[in-house]
Amino acid sequence: MSATQCGLDRSNAFALNQGKQLFGSEDDMDSHELEHLTPDDVVLDAVPDEVEATVQVRDAWLRSLRQDAAGLEFIVSDVRRWSPGQKVRVAFIGGNTALHQDIADATKEITETCNIGLDFGLDPQTGRFRTWSAQDAEYAAEIRVRFDLKGYFSLVGTDSIDPNIGAPMSAVGGRPGQCSLNLGGFAVNRPQNWRGVARHEFLHALAFLHSHQNMRGPCELAFRWEDDEGYVPSKNEQGGFIADAAGRRPGIYTYLAGFPNFWDKAKVDHNLRTKEDPTVVAGPFDRASVMLYRFPALFYKNAQTECAPLGDGISLSEGDRRGLRLLYPKPAAEIAAIVEQKQAILGVLEGPPPAALDGLETSQRVPRSIYARDVARLVRRTLPLGV
Ligand SMILES: [Zn+2]
């Protein structure tokens, strides 16, 4: 995922203090090693690597368009944004009606704030919510939820209807039969902060990124990337890196390389380091955002860090609400500006190359890309209604 709009950024980590309960069942998922989580372990949320790889290739192509045309300053953000006023459909695999109802209720805090709807497809006849299946050839919903994959994650915005996201055989991706949002273990046992987790993932689904990677924020400097000097690598029973006998602590790279995350350096950099991405909108850093992870103490150089969240991680902050209203505004003038941006994108994807540019290269690059047709289709699908 790459950084997003309005105070949004990218990767997050939930302190999974309830890890044992969350993954306590023998047969609820394929990741049995997570049964051994202790209250001190932290699992970061990230989409599966093979899915992330497809996002990065598509985003690199989107950024290349920016050089060809004016009006595409924030192309990565704009392509991922749903239409203001849209009712984005949600469907479930697994879980019972009570869980579906609770999730729908938790997300009202989001939809009541801005001009976007989430339609969970409650059938008044049966009292059940919309479902989807891995065999679907048509989209049952834009947001396709499961509870049985490992961890918590969501694709960002319209990536969930972009067929170039995720490999064809992957469980996760932008095709109709692929999951776009996972709340692992929720059908078995929800963590104490489940409302915050659900809101966080639905904000990703509405195109928000993580706060700790906000390029205007303090986290890059506040994080303890390296081990304490002289640290002697030491592990607990499960393989998690812990302080050594002299109390020297592992840094972030070392900690995340062990149980339960097993991340290599590139993955840490991608998910935690701050990146300048001129195609993404970043608002002011917001310490109360539900998009800011609460990392364990060893992640910070200083206990009083400005990077640590102030909020409870459960309710939306004022900054989150401002971001939502920027993304999904009500005033007609703001919606008109979004339409203009989307039409500028379509002009580049579908129209003739700008005459002022070196025509040959431009005209060949855009139409030939496998992405042009699919991205144009999803931009059209998210043009505000009535346009
Ligand atoms: Zn997240």
Digit-coded pLDDT (tens) for 226-237:
999 999 999 998
Query: 34-43, 59-68, 362-371: lowest mean pLDDT where?
Result: 362-371
Q: Retrieve residue 301's tokens.
A: 């150089």
How remote is the CA of residue 284 from the centroid of ligand 1, in Å? 18
pLDDT at 10: 28
Within 8 A by CB and 6+ apart from 183, the residues are 103, 145, 146, 147, 152, 194, 197, 198, 201
How remote is the CA of residue 13 from the centroid of ligand 1, in Å? 7
Per the structure, how many domains does the chain have?
A: 1
Sign of CA dihedral 273, 278, 280, 281: positive
Q: How many CA atoms lie within 13 A of 83 on its CB side?
A: 21
How remote is the CA of residue 152 from the centroid of ligand 1, in Å? 8
How remote is the CA of residue 346 from the centroid of ligand 1, in Å? 29
Say if 37 falls within a structural domain: yes
How remote is the CA of residue 169 from the centroid of ligand 1, in Å? 24
Say if 271 falls within a structural domain: no
Q: For the residues 12-28, what does the mean pLDDT come to?
A: 31
Q: Would the pLDDT of 316 be above 80? A: yes
Q: What is the pLDDT of residues 43-101, one digit of tens each?
A: 678 888 889 888 888 888 888 877 666 667 777 788 899 999 999 999 999 999 999 99
Say if 250 falls within a structural domain: no
Range of the domain at 164: 13-49+82-207
Say if 44 falls within a structural domain: yes
Say if 370 falls within a structural domain: no
With CA atoms as reference, report the closest residue to 281 among 25, 141, 36, 72: 72
With CA atoms as reference, report the closest residue to 380 among 352, 358, 349: 349
Task: Specify burial of residue 133 (Cβ count, 10 A radius: 0-12, 13-18, 19+).
Answer: exposed
How remote is the CA of residue 232 from the centroid of ligand 1, in Å? 32
Q: Which residue has the higher pLDDT, 234 or 347?
A: 234
pLDDT at 40: 63
Cβ proximity of 171 and 151 under 8 Å: no
Say if 290 falls within a structural domain: no
Q: For the residues 198-226, what does the mean pLDDT come to?
A: 86
Within 8 A by CB and 6+ apart from 87, the residues are 117, 118, 119
Which amino acid, one-letter code, is at 387? V
Say if 70 falls within a structural domain: no
Q: For the domain that residue 128 is a member of, what is the CATH number?
A: 3.40.390
Q: Which residues surround ligand 1, an ion (CB under 5 A)?
A: 12, 45
What is the average pLDDT value for the chain, to the nearest integer?
81
How many other β-carbons are positioned within 10 Å of the β-carbon of residue 38? Answer: 15
Q: Retrieve residue 371's tokens.
A: 């992405």
Within 8 A by CB and 6+ apart from 26, the residues are 32
How remote is the CA of residue 69 from the centroid of ligand 1, in Å? 31
pLDDT at 25: 32
> Alpha-carbon distance 266 to 226, whole Å?
15
Say if 73 falls within a structural domain: no
